[in-house]
Amino acid sequence: VIGWVGFNGGSTLSFSAAIPGIIVNTLVAAAVGGMTGMLLGHLQPARNQTPQLTINGTLAALVAVTAGCHAVTTPEAACIGLIGALCMRATEHLLLKLQLDDAIGAVPVHLGAGIWGTLAVALFGDATLLGTGLSRGAQVLVQLQGILICGAWAFTVTILFLLIVRRFIPLRVSAEAEQEGLNSSEHGASTELAQLLRAMNEQELSGDMTQKMPVEPFTEVGQIAGKYNQVMSKLSQVISRTRLILQDMRDGVVTFSERGIITSVNPGAEQIFGRIAPQLVGHPVGVLLHEENSARYPGAAMDSLLTLLAAGGNEGPHELSGRDGLGEPVPIEVITAASPVETGIQYSAVVRDISERKRMEERLHRHSELAQVTLEAITEAVITCDAGFNVVYLNPVARMLTGWSSASAYGEEIDTVVKLLDGGEESISIAALCRDMRPAGEYQQLQLQGRNREPARVQVNCAPLRDAAGTSVGWVLAMQDITRNSELQARLTFQAVHDSLTGLINRREFERRLDQLVIAARSDNSEHVVLYLDLDQFKIVNDTCGHRAGDLLLRRLALELKSLLRQNDTLARLGGDEFGILLANCPAQRARDIAEDIRIAVRDFRFSWQEQIFSVGVSIGLVPFGPDCPSLDELLSVADSACYAAKEAGRNRVHVYVMGDEELIHRKGQMQWATQIQQAIDSDRLRLFYQPISALTSELGEISHIEIFVRMLDDRDQVVPPGAFIPAAERYDLMPLIDQWVVRNTLAWLGDRLHSQQSPIHCAINLSGVSIGSAECLQLIKDLIAQHRIPARYLSFEITETAAMNDPEAARRFIAEL
């Protein structure tokens, strides 16, 4: 410092008033630079560099302030010294990073701080004192130009000089010679100890544990070398065995330094991480770990994570995510260890690939979750217990049925939680129920008495839980609440066999019971009677007052009829206003009396609706049957025919069927005609006939008016007159189909005749009473007239007075439309 004071103070070349300021600036800069270096030394983890940094900081400040000490103020000199020390430290870091050797720090002090001092002249210097006549910006450019030129010149000349010298004289000795020392490397001096140390050094460098040391006999050094060889031989054997173990291990073994740098890996680690040893050794341990670990260990860098785990004393095992050769995560289990060595601490990690275990755990978790969700979601109560019949689990339905929570039921005896009763209110032991286990899917219907709730009807089944050896480790009890199901089933069963309006049994149940009576009659020669009832004048009530009134009438009549029957008799509503009665084990005469009582009761029954009084009658067909009775279908057909015979005989009467009944034979014939009529319509086996219409006074000649008739062809193509099949068609509502067939074919024939320029003919077509007032028939006539373009004057339709009077209003509308 004193020399620098003299250098800077004497730079004026004369004694002047500026010298004190120059000296003060020099000392202040040196002091600030030294303190900055000392502070930087204290900030280092190892403070052994503090003296060197203090000295170099002082020198860097002196170098930086020298060029401008005469042109700056004292505070500016302090700032220059501070920044000079920082530049020195920054340059030193740069040299270490570039791995350039500078043992005494000359380059950071003189180069780094010198460049800063040159720039500081332009940045802080007083332009008047500098006397260059340049502005500050121009002065900065001049200083930069000087730095670049000096740097280029010094570097170029120096590198050329060193390259030339290097061709002739080595600039430095080898590292081995430097380590060996000047006396041995250059002068060839040697001793036994030096030879031993040299051999040990060669072994250390080669890593060959089998290399033997030279042994001089009968000397102390020779004895040392011999023992050393014995120790190394044993050590080599141990290392060989350890190496073989590590190579054969499926688990990975990784060793790393305190700085987290990998020093070795075994083949198991290479297999796990998908990289060979040269790709891993020398790299941070972070290359083995995936970024997924950041979520588990927030704030821990991957390069230091294994070091932190090993140094923390918690050996593990730790579950981490490793990184394979493709960068994909690999689940691993790591056990860390720390071992003191001469150079510090050596860390190791035993790594196990747990991918398969994780997959198994995931599958088990998925199955467990699925089972848990299923148990929670199913509508049956499920209870599991251990081998001692102590409750382990109840699903939500079981908790609801028993009134026990999972926590309160856990560990309790199952008979305490689940109280089952049989039909006789006797308690049922769950253990006994399980031991008397039914086949899978077979349930026992019992009664469950829950806490604070009404008893429930349940279906119960149980199954054992077994381990891998087949030993029973517990039981599963399944219960289904069938209380509402039983009620619903009873309602559905009732609805399936009963009429919803009257509450009587329906046609299906009636036929089933009748079939049972038929079977009984054939097996035990018993006699029974079936009654077929059809209300008379019921349509008047329906048409006049509506269906609500008709429904009420049917319900009241059902009650009235029921009161007239015996307790074991069957009354059914067969549909509409038709009823059926089964009189089991009833003689024919007794059945006649019952039927007559029913007829009289219905005749005398009065129905009131909105100030109107209605009376109805009933036509009854009575059919007794015994051992020689016909089939069920034939019996029903006979009963229906007997009822219809009663209606045709004047209504409000009882017709008793007997063998050879002429009326029923006639009706049966009509039923057969009905089938033939339908087949004839479907197969177009109807034929049109006509008869001319002429005035009595007209002469014979061309026909101008005709009346259309219809005939039917039988199976042998013989013409059937209308008197044979029209009554059956009227009885079974087939007349509208016949009318439509006649209209369709007549108008088609007439249209063809008119369009072929033949003389027109006036056609008279007969319509039945059912078609009069039928909107469908009316629309068909209008469409066909338009389709065949027939002038309406060539058509007339004939109806009977009776047909018109059945529904005069409908007939009036029909005629008006035509």
Q: Are 10 and 118 contained in the same domain?
A: yes
Tell me: pLDDT of 343 over 80. no
- Report DSSP letters for 471-509, one per residue: -EEEEEEEEEE-HHHHHHHHHHHHHHHB-TTT-SB-HHH
Q: How many residues does the chain have?
A: 818
Q: Are 477 and 584 contained in the same domain?
A: no
What pairs with residue 420 in β-bridges?
428, 448
Tell me: pLDDT of 646 over 70. yes
| Nearest Cα to Cα of residue 477 among 424, 423, 419, 426 | 419
* Burial class (CB within 10 angstroms; exposed 0-12, middle 13-18, buried 19+) of 324: middle
Whole-angstrom distance, CA of residue 505 vs CA of residue 499: 6
- pLDDT of res. 104: 74
- pLDDT of res. 441: 47
Asked whether residue 790 is assigned to any structural domain, the reply reads yes
Tell me: pLDDT of 389 over 80. yes
> What mean pLDDT do residues 69-90 have?
89
Whole-angstrom distance, CA of residue 720 vs CA of residue 727: 13
At 594, the pLDDT band (50, 70, 90 cuts) reads very high
Tell me: pLDDT of 61 over 80. yes
Q: Are 419 and 509 contained in the same domain?
A: no
Could you say which of 488, 521, 538 is where a domain stops? 488
Q: Tell me the C-alpha to C-alpha distance, in Å, between residue 252 and each of 205, 549, 749.
A: 27, 94, 104
Q: Are 802 and 704 contained in the same domain?
A: yes
> What mean pLDDT do residues 134-148 have?
88
> What mean pLDDT do residues 235-247 have?
73
At 530, the pLDDT band (50, 70, 90 cuts) reads very high
Question: Could you tell me whether strands 705-713 and 762-766 are parallel, antiparallel, or unpaired per DSSP bridges?
Answer: parallel
Q: Are 505 and 614 contained in the same domain?
A: yes
Q: Are 521 and 471 contained in the same domain?
A: no
Asked whether residue 472 is assigned to any structural domain, the reply reads yes
Could you say which of 309, 324, 355 is where a domain stops? 355
516 in helix, strand or coil? helix
- pLDDT of res. 362: 86
Q: Are 211 and 258 contained in the same domain?
A: no
> What mean pLDDT do residues 140-158 have?
90
**In sequence order, which residues have a C-beta less than 8 Å from that of residue 200 and are 6 or more positions away?**
213, 228
Tell me: pLDDT of 176 over 80. no
758 or 665: which leads in pLDDT: 758
Tell me: pLDDT of 244 over 60. yes
CATH, residue 428: 3.30.450.20
- pLDDT of res. 233: 85
> What mean pLDDT do residues 483-502 have?
82
pTM: predicted TM-score of the whole model, two decimal places: 0.40
- pLDDT of res. 507: 93
Tell me: pLDDT of 804 over 60. no
Tell me: pLDDT of 33 over 60. yes
Containing domain of residue 752, as a range? 672-817
Supply 618's token pair: 């009933």
Of the candidate ranges 254-268, 325-339, 661-675, the one whose mean pLDDT is the lowest: 661-675
Q: Are 580 and 686 contained in the same domain?
A: no
- pLDDT of res. 185: 62
Tell me: pLDDT of 733 over 80. no
- 626, 521 contact by CB (below 8 A): yes
Asked whether residue 362 is assigned to any structural domain, the reply reads no
> What mean pLDDT do residues 391-401 have?
88
Asked whether residue 181 is assigned to any structural domain, the reply reads no
CATH, residue 761: 3.20.20.450
Of the candidate ranges 211-220, 502-511, 747-756, the one whose mean pLDDT is the lowest: 211-220
Kindly state the percentage of the chain with pLDDT values over 90: 18
Q: Are 778 and 738 contained in the same domain?
A: yes
Whole-angstrom distance, CA of residue 161 vs CA of residue 687: 138
Q: What is the mean pLDDT of the chain?
A: 84
- 741, 773 contact by CB (below 8 A): no
- pLDDT of res. 177: 66
At 216, the pLDDT band (50, 70, 90 cuts) reads confident
* Burial class (CB within 10 angstroms; exposed 0-12, middle 13-18, buried 19+) of 460: buried
Kindly state the percentage of the chain with pLDDT values over 70: 92
Asked whether residue 180 is assigned to any structural domain, the reply reads no
- pLDDT of res. 182: 56
Tell me: pLDDT of 631 over 50. yes
| Nearest Cα to Cα of residue 306 among 262, 270, 267, 275 | 262
Helices (H), 566-698: 588-604, 632-648, 662-682
Q: Are 12 and 159 contained in the same domain?
A: yes
Give whichever of 372-386, 420-434, 720-734 has the largest mean pLDDT: 372-386
Q: What angle do CA 749, 753, 756 make, to 5 degrees?
A: 140
Asked whether residue 171 is assigned to any structural domain, the reply reads no
Asked whether residue 306 is assigned to any structural domain, the reply reads yes
Widest Cα–Cα separation across the chain: 178
Asked whether residue 185 is assigned to any structural domain, the reply reads no
Of the candidate ranges 334-343, 645-654, 705-714, 752-761, the one whose mean pLDDT is the lowest: 334-343
- pLDDT of res. 437: 64
Whole-angstrom distance, CA of residue 509 vs CA of residue 513: 6
**In sequence order, which residues have a C-beta less than 8 Å from that of residue 26 and are 6 or more positions away?**
1, 4, 5, 8, 9, 62, 65, 66, 69, 77
Q: How many domains does the chain have?
A: 6
- Report DSSP letters for 532-577, one per residue: EEEEESHHHHHHHH-HHHHHHHHHHHHHHHHHTS-TT-EEEEEETT
Q: Are 714 and 810 contained in the same domain?
A: yes
CATH, residue 15: 1.10.3430.10
- 502, 573 contact by CB (below 8 A): yes
Tell me: pLDDT of 496 over 90. no
| Nearest Cα to Cα of residue 353 among 436, 250, 284, 427 | 250
Tell me: pLDDT of 341 over 90. no
> What mean pLDDT do residues 740-756 have?
90
- pLDDT of res. 470: 82
- pLDDT of res. 129: 81
CB atoms near residue 778 (< 10 Å): 16
- pLDDT of res. 398: 87
- 430, 415 contact by CB (below 8 A): yes
Tell me: pLDDT of 277 over 50. yes
Tell me: pLDDT of 247 over 70. no
Q: Are 453 and 552 contained in the same domain?
A: no
